[in-house]
Amino acid sequence: MQTTDFKITANKAITKDVYELTLSGNLPDITPGQFVNIKIPGCYLRRPISISNWDNEAGTITLIYKVVGEGTEILSRKKPNHSLELLLPLGNGFDTKLTTENTLLCGGGVGVPPLIGLAKKMLVEGKSPEVVLGFNTKDEIFGVEKFQALGLEPRITTVDGSFGIKGFIIDALKTVNFDYVCSCGPVAMLKAIYSFVPQENAASRGGALEKNSEIGGQYSFEARMACGFGACMGCTCMTKEGYKRICKEGPVLLKEEILW
C-alpha cells in the first residue's frame, strides 16, 4: 500500500453515467480485483474504485466508475493534467492460480471493470475464459470492446431485452461450458450465480447443497468503506471463517468462505 499522486490523462463518459479514467504515475504491483481509494477534493472520505486495467511499462492505470453520488460526480468533472492522490493497491484480488482452462467470468454493471484486468492476466497465463456481462438495458452496456481487444467475445444480457439475451446473467449460462467462476457485481447477482451454477453444470444432478461444492469460484463484493485498508472495521462482514474486512481480506472472497 502506498499513497501516490497520479496525473489524469483521460476522463471520459463511456455511457450516460459511467466514466473511464486513465491516470499516469508510479505503479506498484497490482493483482486483478484490487482497488484504489481516491482522495476527492471537497469530500472527507476517499472513494474506493476497482482497478480495471493497468500497464506497468507505460505507468498507466484505468478505472471505470459510475457516478452514483457527490464524490463520483466531482470526480467525473476532473480534467486531464489534474492530479489525484491514490491509496493503492488495496484488498485481495482474484487468485488466477485457482482458475481453470474453462473459467467463466461474470460481471454485472460496474462489476465488469475488474474482470478486464483479470481476463488479461488469465490470457497471459494461457487460459482463455468465457465472459458473460449483464446490464439493465442497451444504453448501459460498456466494456465489450475491451474484451474483444483481448480476443474474447463476451455474451451480453440485458434485463429489458434491448440487446443480447433477455434477462439476467444466469439466463445466458445454460449454453456455456465451464468448471470455475469469477464474478463481480451486485450481491443479488453474485448470490444468483452462486445458487445457479452448480445445478446447471454439475455432472450429477444430486441435491443442490451437495452440488454447491462442485464448482469452485471467487466472488468480489462491494461495501461502504471509510479507510479502505483494514483500520476502521467499517466494512466487516461475517463469513464461515469468522469476520472478514471487505477492504482487506476481500473484496474477493472464495466461494467456500461466503455466508450468503
Partner 1 sequence: MLNKELKNTSVNLSGVILDNPVIPASGTFGYGQEFARLYDLNILGSISFKGTTLEPRFGNPQPRIAECPGGLINSVGLQNPGLEKVISEELPALGRIYKKPLIANISGFSIDEYVKCAEAMDRQKQVGIIEVNVSCPNVHNGGMAYGVDPKSAAEVTNAVRKATKKPLYIKLSPNVTDITEIAKACESAGADGLSLINTMLGMRIDIKSRSPVIANKMGGLSGPAIFPIAVRMVYQVAKAVKLPIIGMGGISSAKDVIEMMMAGATATQVGAANLVNPMICRDIIEELPVLMDKLKINRLEEIIGIVQ
Shortest separation between residue 26's beta carbon and partner 1, angstroms: 16
At 98, give phi and psi (nearest 5°). -85, -15
Residue nearer to partner 1 on the CB measure, 165 or 246 = 246
Helix intervals (H) in the chain: 70-76, 113-124, 144-149, 187-201, 208-211
Those residues with Cβ within 8 angstroms of residue 58's Cβ, 6 or more apart along the chain or in another chain: 24
Give yes or no for residue 104 binding partner 1 (CB under 8 A).
Answer: no
Interface residue with partner 1 among 39, 78, 138, 155 (CB under 8 A) is 39
Q: How far is the CB of 190 from partner 1 (least distance, A)?
A: 15
Q: Which one, 46 or 255, has the nearer CB to partner 1?
A: 46
Beta bridge partners of 239: 242, 258
- Grid coordinates belonging to 80: 486531464
DSSP state string for 48-101? EEEEEEEETTTTEEEEEEE--SHHHHHHHTPPTT-EEEEEEEESB---GGG--T
| CB nearer partner 1, residue 208 or residue 233 | 233
Of 58, 98, 188, 238, which lies in the binding site for partner 1, with binding defined by CB under 8 A? 238
Binding partner 1 (rule: CB under 8 A), the pick from 16, 26, 29, 44 is 44
**b/e sequence 153-182, b meaning 16+ C-beta within 10 Å:** ebbbbbeeeebbbeebbbebbeeeebbbbb
Kindly tell me which of 61 and 225 has the beta carbon lying closer to partner 1.
225
Is 22 in contact with 61 (CB distance < 8 Å)?
yes
43 makes contact with partner 1 (CB under 8 A): yes
Which of 46, 120, 121, 244 binds partner 1 (CB under 8 A)? It is 46
Q: How far is the CB of 253 from partner 1 (least distance, A)?
A: 15
Residue 187 in contact with residue 164, Cβ under 8 Å?
Answer: no
Residue among 147 and 219 whose Cβ is closer to partner 1: 219
**Residue type for position 72:** T
**Which residue, 208 or 238, has its beta carbon nearer to partner 1?**
238
Which of the ranges 37-45, 51-59, 109-117, 198-206 carries the binding residues for partner 1, by CB under 8 A? Answer: 37-45
Which of these, 109, 127, 110, 22, lies nearest to 118 by C-alpha position? 127
Q: What is the footprint of partner 1 within residues 217-236 (CB under 8 A)?
A: 223-227, 229-236
Q: How many helices (H) and strands (E) does the chain have?
A: 5, 15
Minimum CB–partner distance for residue 69 and partner 1 (Å): 8
Distances (CA, A) of 93 to 81, 96, 131: 29, 9, 18
x-marked contacts with partner 1 along 84-103 as a string, rule CB under 8 A: ---x----------------
Residue selected from 248, 252, 255, 258 as contacting partner 1 according to rule CB under 8 A: 248
User: Which residues of this protein are in contact with partner 1, per CB under 8 A?
Assistant: 1-3, 39, 43-46, 70-71, 87, 223-227, 229-238, 243, 248
